[in-house]
Amino acid sequence: MPSFETLLLERREHVAIVTINRPDKRNALNIKTREEGAAVLEELRADDSVRVVVLTGAGDKAFIAGADINEFAGRTAISQRAVMGARSLFTAIDTFPKPIIAMINGYCLGGGCEVALACDLRIASENASFGQPEINLGIIPGGGGTQRLTRLVGEGKAMEMILTGEIIDAQTAFAIGLVNHVVPLDQLQAKTLEIANRIAEKGPVAVSLAKEAVKIASRSNLDEGLRREVDLFALCFSTEDKDEGVSAFLEKRKPAFKGR
Ligand code: COA
pLDDT digits (tens, 9 = 90+) for 183-227: 999 999 999 999 999 999 999 999 999 999 999 999 999 999 999
| pLDDT at res. 3 | 84
Pocket of ligand 1 (CB under 6 A): 25-26, 28, 61, 65-70, 107, 109-111, 133-134, 137
Neighbours of 220 (CB within 10 A): 13
Q: Cα–Cα distance between 157 and 172 in angstroms, integer?
A: 11
Q: Cα–Cα distance between 170 and 48 in angstroms, integer?
A: 34
Mean pLDDT of 1-25: 93
Neighbours of 175 (CB within 10 A): 14
Amino acid residing at 77: A
Query: Per-residue pLDDT tens for 24-49?
Result: 999 999 999 999 999 999 999 999 99
Active site residues: 114, 134
Residue 153 CB partners (closer than 8 Å, separation 6+): 176, 177, 178
Helix (H) or strand (E) holding 123: strand 121-125
Residue 85 has pLDDT above 80, yes or no: no
pTM of the model: 0.96
Task: Write out the DSSP string of 19-66.
Answer: EE--GGGTT-B-HHHHHHHHHHHHHHHT-TT--EEEEEESSSSEEE--
Nearest residue to 215 (alpha-carbon basis) of 155, 152, 123, 259:
152
Length of the chain, in residues: 260
Query: Per-residue pLDDT tens for 70-84?
Result: 999 988 999 888 888
Q: Cα–Cα distance between 241 and 225 in angstroms, integer?
A: 24
Q: For ligand 1, atom 40, which residue shows the shortest CA distance?
A: 65
pLDDT tier at 2, thresholds 50, 70, 90: low
Residue 90 has pLDDT above 80, yes or no: yes
Which of 24, 26, 72 has the most ligand 1 atoms within 8 A of CB, as the residue to mutate? 26
* Atom of ligand 1 at shortest range from CA of 139: 48
